[in-house]
Amino acid sequence: MKIVVIQGPNLNMLGVREQHIYGPMKLEDIHAQMKNFAEQNGVEIEFFQSNLEGEIVDKIQECLGDADGIIINPAAYSHTSIAIRDALSAVEIPAIEVHLSNIHAREDFRKKSITAEVSAGVIAGMGPFGYHLAMVGMIQIMQEIKAMQDAQQEQEA
Ligand code: CA2
């Protein structure tokens, strides 16, 4: 089972600027923790960050036939990108959207996520721990899907 983690624009600046909003942890520290947890659970994991909308769309498309789950923080594109939403919808791979901050407690323009509408679940406001929660949720979802597929195969045999 494989999870692809996709990080959107400016998240490469985590721990470098605006620590009062997003905290002191760097993106690579968050990824190191996720990698540890993935290894403990026998799950393959890949990380990708881009500041470019088209590159994020390409990465989501590349997940087809490669990933069983997507954990994504589309960052500001959550509020604007129909292209990322369409890509997530098209690949039909379960996705969990993570926001470090509680987008519902911030400016009005952050309160709506159009990408969250096509995600299996959303975690917001839990800081870096949100990525851990997303992994727990995604492992559960992937196991449920695998159990369903195994049962179906057994019925067909
Ligand atoms: O809370 C989140 O995770 C967000 O996705 C973060 C985005 C923001 O546009 C969303 O509304 C909510 C911004 C990511 C920018 O991250 C920075 C980190 C450090 C310094 C500057 C930006």
- Residue with CA at minimum distance from ligand 1 atom 20: 17
Per-residue model confidence (pLDDT) at position 16? 86
Q: What is the tens place of the pLDDT at every residue in 15-30? A: 987 888 888 999 999 9
Task: Give the residues surrounding ligand 1 with Cβ less than 6 Å away.
Answer: 10-11, 13-14, 17-18, 22, 73, 75-76, 78, 99-101, 103, 110
Rounded to the nearest angstrom, the distance between the alpha carbon of 43 and the centre of ligand 1 is: 27
Has 99 been annotated as catalytic?
Answer: yes
Domain that holds residue 13: 2-156
User: pTM of the predicted model, to two decimals?
Assistant: 0.97
Q: Which residue has the tokens 């600027």?
A: 17
CATH number of the domain enclosing 150? 3.40.50.9100
The residues near 71 (Cβ < 8 Å, ≥ 6 apart) are 3, 4, 5, 6, 95, 96, 98, 131, 134, 135, 138
Question: What is the total count of domains within the chain?
Answer: 1
pLDDT above 90: percentage of residues in the chain: 94
Rounded mean pLDDT of the chain?
97
Is 71 in contact with 89 (CB distance < 8 Å)?
no
